[in-house]
Structure 1
Amino acid sequence: MPIYSFEDSIPACFASDEHSCLSISDLHYKDGACSLKWDFAEHSFITVRQPIGYRPFQKGSISQARDSFAVWIYNPVPRAGCLSFEFGRGDQIDCRFEFSLEYQGWRTAWVAFERDMQGMPHPDMDTLTIRTPKEAACGTLFIDQLMLNTPIDPRFHTRDFQAPFVNKGADISANAHWLALYAFEQLKPLSELPLSITREQADVHMRMNRRFEELFCPKRVVTQEDMDRLQRRFDDYGIVRRENAILGRPIELPFFDHFPPSQKAELKVMANSEMLSEISQFLMDTAVCFRNTEQERLQVKLRAMFLDTLDHLDDQGWTYGSSQGTVHHFGYNFRDYYPAVFLMRDLLKEAGRLERTQRTMRWYSGAGRIHTPLADVEGNIDIFNTTLHGMLASLLIMDDTPEKVRELLAFRDWLSQSLSPARGLRAAYKIDGSAYHHVNHYPAYAVGGFQGVTPMMYVISGTPYRVHEEAHGALRKALLAMRLYSNKREWLLSLAARHPTGKWALDPEPFIYLAQSGTPDGTKEVDQEVAAAAMRLLEPCEHIEAVDRWLSMGIAPEPDPSGHWTMNYAALAIHRRGSWLAGMRGHSRYLWANETYVNANLYGRYISHGHLQILSHGEPINNEDSGYRQEGWDWNRWPGTTTVHKPIEALRSDVRNVDTFSGFEEMLLSDETFAGGLHLEGRNGMFAMKLHEHPKYEGSHRARKSAFFFDDRIICLGTDIENDNDVCPTETTLFQAHLPDPGDPIWVNGAAPISEFPYKEQVQLNSAAWMLDNKGNGYYLPAGQALAVSRTTQHSKHQATGADTQGNFTAAWLEHGMAPKEGRYEYAILVGADCEAIEAFSLQMQSPETAAYRVLRQDRSAHIVQDTRSQTIAYALFEADDAIHTGHLSAVDTPSMVMIREEGDRLIVSAVDPDLRLYEGLEEDQYDEHGLQKEVSVYSRQWVHAESMTHTMRMRLKGQWAAQKDMPGFRIVRCDIASTVVELACKEAIPHEFVLLRAPRIAEV
């Protein structure tokens, strides 16, 4: 379909009524250098006689894009009424919509024919009629970039004051935090207006202003070079004033979602637009320079450039009430705008722009959302990252009035609710420290959220507007958790989602701001635990003024964390000793297995199939030095996973746009509920999952996997490995590690190192064996398994582009053959070992008297391991079982994980039901007529926002036991000489830990 940009002449298919005049004008334009000028009279109209090209949406299409109309309209003066756009066949109108003219400047509308217009669109439509408002007399409008029909992602159309009927469903969609600006502006305050503002409140506002300025206006010297640089940037925008109008290059978001794919490159060149992010950064740079110079000559120049750019931005439609067709993800491009105008608030007031600017700040930051009923509030990391500071700035910039007090108090309550532990899979922070985005724990987004929210926590700390204690505590737990699953700053690859680069890392700065925000209860100005964590994370070269103060207070950097942590909202187990970190992750019917886009993580299907990574090497410790390197990585072989090893091209994801709730992305769910971890006394722990791959690729592939973490020992078990693939082998990967030097040795069952390259060996283990990889991790392998070892140049594909890559790697895996049935494995890892240590470990395992661990049971129903050194038995109970009879545990009525450590007459017990229990039974729409699970968007699932259901779990223990103390969710329901029955109220897959005392004579209840 043609796109009308009106550069040279009026298209032949355009005509107006006899009282109107159409011409080409260079006074206003949205692309190129001209637009269509329409001088109209009463009851005027334009007709465009051209096939519209509309086609009804076909279900099952590769893309969910909907045919839409798009146009830009420049209005020199606001006027009452609406333009009417009528689409039909000749004089017969099939569908229509109205466009309000109560504005000045450029505005646009993206309107989907089927969803947003009145009437019923028809494929044979060949006429568009644009009619002036009934209320209008004569006047002038300018039209540009008119598209009769263009396919647009149905999630992106955004309603505003000109087109409030567009895509109303976006107000409650996954993109609502971007797109619901119009809905936010309709919300009314939830509380009464205070009668007055106190002197104390005004003083608090001044203190918050100072803190906000400190964040965004560093002290600096403004040089002539700075001025020249800013002038060059300003000149490039082409901003001039002519005939009471301001002109310049169009200002756009970078997405160009409304351009037809085949014409996008050409149209972007023709538009000659400037990116919104560049404009907002320019405003920020100009504001910082203005605030850092007292030279009047420079201030005059900076003032003029700032105001001209701000006026041009407003004229371009980046102003109150305008949504630019779409504002999805715009926050990343606009976030410099808010502090820039805040720093220039006195200038703006003097120039008469402050009220207009404050309204624009409020609109684009979505500050109206603070009046959302608290029960409906959901946190969002995108907002924390990109617009939270804009929300606060739009309130701080207000005059000191009772209304400002009410708004700031509403902001406090809204932010508190946003930060508090969220139910179900809602964002943003969970009771276990998980940080949610895209309906899963997502550190790559969480780090930006922390960077955005913690400075604002600092600004409002110690004031009546500080967040509530529970909210502060939830944010604190999530931030501190990030330094547990990261080492030193880079997080586990299993948490990489669609960014498997190994380079993403936490930022110490949020720890600094949160430490300076005080303790959650508000009793201390510095949170010493968070401060100590920040000090450990900082490098010696990173000098922070706050650290000097903390040292003078006697605060020292924390030691490397040591212990075991469970994060079942992430299906994640974390185990740390000394300087190393081991983490294992899975997925379930609630938590997707992978996130893949058309240009990201194309081969990462197996990234959470029981991925067990050890992060232990580097200065500081990092993924690459610990063995991961993207170039040449075999995407089939994530350590710890059990996978069907496929040719690289067969492993590439087939990314689809499955519904209107999602874009082109893959986020596959299992149908299993059993995945997660458990810890005991915060020291040791375990992980277990029922692995079932989604039928999109290999629906017959299943396994039951577990890992048990005791100090420096990790015991890994697998059973019931099965699939129907008789072409590709099934494997369990022990390790895959990059070889910086091809001669870096490994050891296999002997004192002689293996440095040969290339090298490959496959061996059936008739007796137990041991290995040592090139990262100092030892592996003990019982007899009866097939081991393969490789040292070679691997050829692979780039995760984002599919380009060829290669690299030198060593790897080892256990082979299960083609189409295995009842496959199994057992191995143990000794972390931080050398040849002597792993060889000694292997020798000790040959005798029950000296063995470090014993496998007490390994079958479909249970994996049970005893760690002899800690006198702990750990149970991965995949099924309810009334005949366990192992150790102190006799029965459980729920698939669960249990750990029991015996200490004299005490049992220290920990147990968890790893099922998040967000819904019961099966979802019929996830299955086809053959009972096979279909690919669905997780965003389309109603249970995403459901609260975890409480489940009562019963355990039967041998002998008589009494509780050491009463605990919530725990009770002994029966106790006699033979057994004790315990009930646990399980919810949110949170472990229960309790202590039982031996009770030789307790009356039967």
Structure 2
Amino acid sequence: MYIYSFEQEVPAGWSSDGQSRLSISGDRYKDGAHSLRWDYKERPRLTVSGPIGFRPFQEGSVSQARDSFAVWIYNPRPLQDKLTFEFGRSGRGQADCRFDFHLDFRGWRTVWAAYERDMDGTPHPDMDTLTIHGPQSAGEGTLYIDQLLLCTPIDPRFHTRDFQAPAVNLRADNAANAHWLSLYAFERLERCLPLPDEVTPEQSAAHLKMNERYEVFFFRKRNVAPDDIERLEHDFAAYGISRRGDAITGRPVELPFFDHFPAADKERLKALANSVQLIEYTKLMRRIADVYRSADREDWKRKLAGMFIDLVDHLEDQGWAYGSSQGTVHHFGYSFREYYPAVFLMREVLKEHGRLELSRRTMYWYSGTGRIHTPLAEVEGNIDIFNTTLHGMLASLLMLDETPYKVRELSAFRLWLSQSLLPARGLRAAYKIDGSAYHHVNHYPAYAVGGFQGVTPVMYFLGGTPYRVTEEAHKTARRALLAMRLYSNKYEWLVSLSARHPTGKWALDPEPFAYMALAGTPDGTRDIDEEVAAAYLRLAAPASGESSDTVRRLMAAGIRPEADPSGHWAMNYAALALHRRDSWLAGVRGHSRYLWANETYVSANLYGRYISHGHLQIMSQGDPVTNEASGYSHDGWDWNRWPGTTTVHKPIAELRSDVRNVDTFSGFEEMLISDESYAGGLHLEGRNGMFAMKLHEHPKYEGTHRARKSYFFFDNRIVCLGSDIENAESRYATETTLFQNHLAGGNEAIRLNGEPPVDEFPYSRKMELDNPASILDNKGNGYYIPRGQRLSVSKATQHSKHQSTDADTEGNFAAAWLDHGTAPDGEGYEYAILVGVGAEQLVRFCEAMRSPDEAAYRVLNKDRLAHIVEDRASRTTAYAFFEANESVDIGHVAAVDTPSMVMIREEPESGGLIVSAVDPDLRLYEGVEEDQYDEHGNRIEVSLYSRRWVHAESKEHTLRLTLKGRWSRKASDAGDAVRIVSHADDRTVVEWTCKDAMPMECRLEKSL
């Protein structure tokens, strides 16, 4: 038996020294209604005889979980002493391994200790004795023990050290989840800022202003009725909290994870524990705080204050206290965040009852406020912290007495937060120079929403005070927030950005725009940021015509809603290009050797392998525009056919992800990367742009699959090219999807080649194109497909699987795709999209394409080296250079020395050129990373969290572009990063100092 709960009698095999006594007690418990009581005297010892159950970790196991020991201890009085847990083999005379557990606390505490990492010595599979050495200096006393697990497998990332067990999981302080688990390390950081001599009047005024703003933000004033009090009393009573003398008991308060329970016993142990979830507990505290602050009857207020103090004391007794890490605190922030405003709103009551400093210290500990003293060079932003604990950090400082210490702490908070908001290097969080918002080492809007909900109010609280964030930090967060309204339309973002949640329902929140606007301009000269305010007014405009106080305030200041964004944006830290006109958005996304192709968990995004294989989505339908109205619908979705992607069309069973726990840096998750560094976009004058990528699928599934793909955006025209499509899959066809649109009704029509609408259902047609073809889809987008390709069109009921549950789904869809056959070798494609056109416009476009002089665009090159397109209307030529090429000789370009993207627009009035270029390689490392390959040279699956280059800074690279003719630089926003270095033989060499895959452009004029 490896698990002990103490309900009936002292278990067999448990014994103590002659001076101690073991018994079963109902005074304290962590599960059931009893625990083991250990009444000890001098130098006590408790022995547990029986197999420990330890087994060494085996490399290559499906799970990375490590055998661990876990126990709960209740200490009625703090002791400057410890327990020592020793594990050994009977008759051997010495322990195999041991660890210490400090007793300087009152209440419940726990420890999770991995045998092979967190203990001194070497554990042995034959261990059959646990000896607990009690306090050596305390004389006599009592301890309670409950829920002891001799051996249980625990994810090695989750064990958390604290004041009781400071040697546990030391590596966590440098791991991806350090922001949750490093509370002990944060608390021990040295305070580097000097202590000021006094609190200035300006600082005191700032403290008062921040207090007022914080309270207004969180306090939900309401009319209180007797039913409200009765409901709170009923919910409070369910926790079973009672007092006997100075002791308090009640149902255990736990996190929801139960990571230390063995899978086979998890449900039984959860039922035995009968615990209250921490999130429900803290929500009750928050509800009581709001009602207390709203109530006007003194009897109600006394009753509510009493309940709140009981909740505070019970939570403290349960181990949710300063210095305690509860075995693990991974992801605990979501469960604890209501605690912070509750305590802040009840600070006067807590002070009256002598609990204010105790609660403030608990808040300071669990929000990890000590992190504000991290050396600035080591600070990394984190959306989890912005979302769940940032408000607690600030509250724990605002509740300090008005002393120089408070000034120092708030000053440190300002510096730490400012550093957290600066553009992060490599794949570090939280915000990038291009507006990407990072979590899980990639752009991740679903987490970014919560991050903005947390950080923008804090920027507002600090605004207009000496503690406001620095200008550059403000600009960076502002840029990332404004970018969210570019890749969202109007509220929902592109499905390609949904990571492991491809529901199509995730959406931005307008409120962070309001707080960013009210935080003032980045330079601090204006109280309202009018550009952000205009964005907020567009997003917040209610259909009912009713408006909030903030809307009325901004309108009274003369600010009006912005127009729908229009232009083109490249976000290469997201491998993302965005193109907008009127009210529609077209976005394309890829992946690379730095940015994962998909995020998949064991119960999330199981079929999303291809979601960023060049996924081109058009969001144009609905009021407001939504993914569903624009064609995406989960049920029945063919996960092979993301629009714009080139994929091997596999049966659904073979498309399902095989999610593994590949190392100790990650959990059960899949984040596959390519070995290609070329993926990204370019914009020209902020109006038009392009995107290109070298597609190479990971060998975990189809490592022979490759393609070179490009997308060129000119006003409402999108030209899509593919070349060098190849793979060895001879069973299933390789396809490039033009569109897959949900049909709200089977009679929704599409049109082929200008013929009458196809409103029949089902419908299927395959065509070998001897002549160009056209399609008008059911969402108002036109497709032009040149001759020489195999086109398939379908309207059908599709059968698929739920991305999370694997349940069967179905839905009606229209789809079109180009068929490249099985095991393609050197295949390609070409098609153009006209967004939001009518049938007549599409016909005119197709007719014009027959004439070289009238054609809207021309493909000047499409091969392994480059895809090059000339757009007639905009006088723009766009180049996707997949390789360096010293003999381009197309358009204005003679040569290029770097795989890159270039766009050149001719200015007929001046005879000049506008040139934009980018090296899309983020250049976080050079060469080949050897540990991504096995001994046979085959690429293997690795966790991105294990990569050394994740935190590396993008390296500068000089791109040399040789243009035909003699040119001189007229103007450039890039400064010295773009320069002309030579003229020779009627050629001009322009150098671009590239970094962070950021596009740069310049104006050139003819040079004599």
Q: Which TM-score band applies after superposition, normalised by the shorter structure?
A: over 0.9
Establish whether residue 918 from structure 1 lines up as the match of residue 918 from structure 2: no
Indicate the SS of the match to 1:908.
strand
Q: Which residue of 2 aligns with 1:754?
A: 758
- Separation (CA, whole Å) in 2 of partners of 1:889 and 1:928: 41
Q: Which residue of 1 aligns with 2:317?
A: 315
Write the deviation string for residues 536-555 of structure 1: whole angstroms up to 9, x where unpaired. Answer: 11133362211112112211
Indicate the SS of the match to 2:778.
coil
Q: Which residue of 1 aligns with 2:278?
A: 276
TM-score by length of 1: 0.99
Write the deviation string for residues 314-349 of structure 1: whole angstroms up to 9, x where unpaired. Answer: 000001000000000000000000010011111111
- Separation (CA, whole Å) in 2 of partners of 1:826 and 1:840: 19
Unaligned runs of 5+ in 1: none
Q: Which residue of 2 aligns with 1:7?
A: 7
Write the deviation string for residues 360-386 of structure 1: whole angstroms up to 9, x where unpaired. Answer: 010000000000000000000000000
Contact 1:379 1:418 in 2 (8 A): yes
- Separation (CA, whole Å) in 2 of partners of 1:663 and 1:832: 44
Q: Which residue of 2 aligns with 1:981?
A: 989
Q: Which residue of 2 aligns with 1:83?
A: 83
- Separation (CA, whole Å) in 1 of partners of 2:454 and 2:997: 29
Shift of 1:243: 3.9
Shift of 1:225: 1.4
Instruction: Give the counterpart letter for 1:458 in structure 2.
Output: Y
- Separation (CA, whole Å) in 2 of partners of 1:573 and 1:978: 35
Mean alpha-carbon deviation: is it higher for 601-610 or for 84-93? 84-93
Instruction: Give the counterpart letter for 2:555 in structure 1.
Output: L
Instruction: Give the counterpart letter for 2:1006 in structure 1.
Output: R
Query: For 2:746, which of 737, 742, 748 is the aligned residue?
Result: 742
Contact 2:44 2:136 in 1 (8 A): no
Query: For 2:609, which of 573, 588, 605 is the aligned residue?
Result: 605
Q: Which residue of 1 aligns with 2:237?
A: 235
Instruction: Give the counterpart letter for 1:141 in structure 2.
Output: L
- Separation (CA, whole Å) in 2 of partners of 1:242 and 1:260: 34
Percent identity of equivalent pairs: 67
Query: For 2:893, which of 889, 896, 905 is the aligned residue?
Result: 889
Mean alpha-carbon deviation: is it higher for 512-521 or for 963-972? 963-972
- Separation (CA, whole Å) in 1 of partners of 2:976 and 2:486: 27
Instruction: Give the counterpart letter for 1:983 in structure 2.
Output: E
Contact 2:221 2:291 in 1 (8 A): no
Contact 2:56 2:125 in 1 (8 A): yes
Q: Which residue of 1 aligns with 2:355?
A: 353
- Separation (CA, whole Å) in 2 of partners of 1:210 and 1:550: 20
Indicate the SS of the match to 2:117.
helix
Establish whether residue 363 from structure 1 lines up as the match of residue 368 from structure 2: no
Query: For 1:327, which of 313, 320, 329 is the aligned residue?
Result: 329
Instruction: Give the counterpart letter for 2:600 in structure 1.
Output: T
Indicate the SS of the match to 1:783.
coil
- Separation (CA, whole Å) in 2 of partners of 1:743 and 1:189: 70
Establish whether residue 540 from structure 1 lines up as the match of residue 543 from structure 2: yes
Indicate the SS of the match to 1:268.
helix
- Separation (CA, whole Å) in 2 of partners of 1:815 and 1:113: 56
Shift of 1:921: 0.4
Contact 1:7 1:24 in 2 (8 A): yes
Q: Which residue of 1 aligns with 2:394?
A: 392
Instruction: Give the counterpart letter for 2:933 in structure 1.
Output: Y
Write the deviation string for residues 797-851 of structure 1: whole angstroms up to 9, x where unpaired. Answer: 0000111001111100000000000010000000001211111111110110110
- What is the RMSD of the two structures over their aligned residues, measured on CA atoms? 0.8
Contact 2:464 2:519 in 1 (8 A): yes
Contact 1:907 1:995 in 2 (8 A): yes
Contact 2:73 2:108 in 1 (8 A): yes
Q: Which residue of 2 aligns with 1:831?
A: 835
Shift of 1:977: 5.4
Instruction: Give the counterpart letter for 1:692 in structure 2.
Output: H
Q: Which residue of 2 aligns with 1:796?
A: 800
Query: For 1:997, which of 991, 997, 1005 is the aligned residue?
Result: 1005
Indicate the SS of the match to 1:984.
strand
Query: For 1:188, which of 187, 190, 197 is the aligned residue?
Result: 190
- Separation (CA, whole Å) in 2 of partners of 1:243 and 1:799: 54
Shift of 1:756: 1.3
Q: How many residues align?
A: 1000
Contact 1:751 1:835 in 2 (8 A): no
- Separation (CA, whole Å) in 1 of partners of 2:33 and 2:221: 41
Indicate the SS of the match to 1:737.
strand
Write the deviation string for residues 574-618 of structure 1: whole angstroms up to 9, x where unpaired. Answer: 000000000000000000000000010000000000000000001
Mean alpha-carbon deviation: is it higher for 226-235 or for 196-205? 196-205
- Separation (CA, whole Å) in 2 of partners of 1:218 and 1:16: 55
Q: Which residue of 1 aligns with 2:968?
A: 962
- Separation (CA, whole Å) in 2 of partners of 1:526 and 1:915: 38
Query: For 2:651, which of 647, 659, 665 is the aligned residue?
Result: 647
- Separation (CA, whole Å) in 2 of partners of 1:252 and 1:757: 54
- Separation (CA, whole Å) in 2 of partners of 1:239 and 1:479: 44
Establish whether residue 907 from structure 1 lines up as the match of residue 913 from structure 2: yes
- Separation (CA, whole Å) in 1 of partners of 2:78 and 2:1001: 67
Shift of 1:393: 0.2
Q: Which residue of 2 aligns with 1:658?
A: 662
- Separation (CA, whole Å) in 2 of partners of 1:418 and 1:552: 34
Q: Which residue of 1 aligns with 2:599?
A: 595
Instruction: Give the counterpart letter for 2:429 in structure 1.
Output: A
Query: For 2:936, which of 930, 934, 942 is the aligned residue?
Result: 930
Indicate the SS of the match to 1:965.
strand
Query: For 1:512, which of 511, 514, 520 is the aligned residue?
Result: 514
Shift of 1:218: 2.2
Query: For 2:823, which of 816, 819, 822 is the aligned residue?
Result: 819
Shift of 1:760: 1.0
Write the deviation string for residues 496-538 of structure 1: whole angstroms up to 9, x where unpaired. Answer: 0001000000000000010000000000000000000011111
Instruction: Give the counterpart letter for 1:821 in structure 2.
Output: D
Indicate the SS of the match to 1:405.
helix
Shift of 1:976: 3.5
Contact 1:75 1:103 in 2 (8 A): yes
- Separation (CA, whole Å) in 2 of partners of 1:558 and 1:197: 42
- Separation (CA, whole Å) in 2 of partners of 1:969 and 1:517: 33
Write the deviation string for residues 919-973 of structure 1: whole angstroms up to 9, x where unpaired. Answer: 0001100001221111000000010000000001100000010000362311111
- Separation (CA, whole Å) in 1 of partners of 2:567 and 2:664: 44
- Separation (CA, whole Å) in 2 of partners of 1:249 and 1:965: 70
Mean alpha-carbon deviation: is it higher for 97-106 or for 130-139? 130-139
Q: Which residue of 2 aligns with 1:444?
A: 446
Q: Which residue of 2 aligns with 1:697?
A: 701
Q: Which residue of 1 aligns with 2:204?
A: 202
Contact 1:959 1:976 in 2 (8 A): no
Contact 1:658 1:936 in 2 (8 A): yes
Write the deviation string for residues 454-512 of structure 1: whole angstroms up to 9, x where unpaired. Answer: 01111110000000000000000000000000000000011000010000000000000
- Separation (CA, whole Å) in 2 of partners of 1:412 and 1:926: 40
Q: Which residue of 2 aligns with 1:871?
A: 875
Runs of 4+ with deviation above 3 angstroms: none
Q: Which residue of 1 aligns with 2:158?
A: 156
Shift of 1:266: 1.1
Instruction: Give the counterpart letter for 2:54 in structure 1.
Output: Y
- Separation (CA, whole Å) in 2 of partners of 1:26 and 1:532: 62
Contact 2:2 2:53 in 1 (8 A): no
- Separation (CA, whole Å) in 2 of partners of 1:582 and 1:237: 52
Write the deviation string for residues 643-693 of structure 1: whole angstroms up to 9, x where unpaired. Answer: 000000100000000000000000001000000000000000000000000
Establish whether residue 944 from structure 1 lines up as the match of residue 947 from structure 2: no
Contact 2:214 2:461 in 1 (8 A): yes
- Separation (CA, whole Å) in 2 of partners of 1:811 and 1:225: 56
Contact 2:163 2:324 in 1 (8 A): yes
- Separation (CA, whole Å) in 2 of partners of 1:339 and 1:569: 35
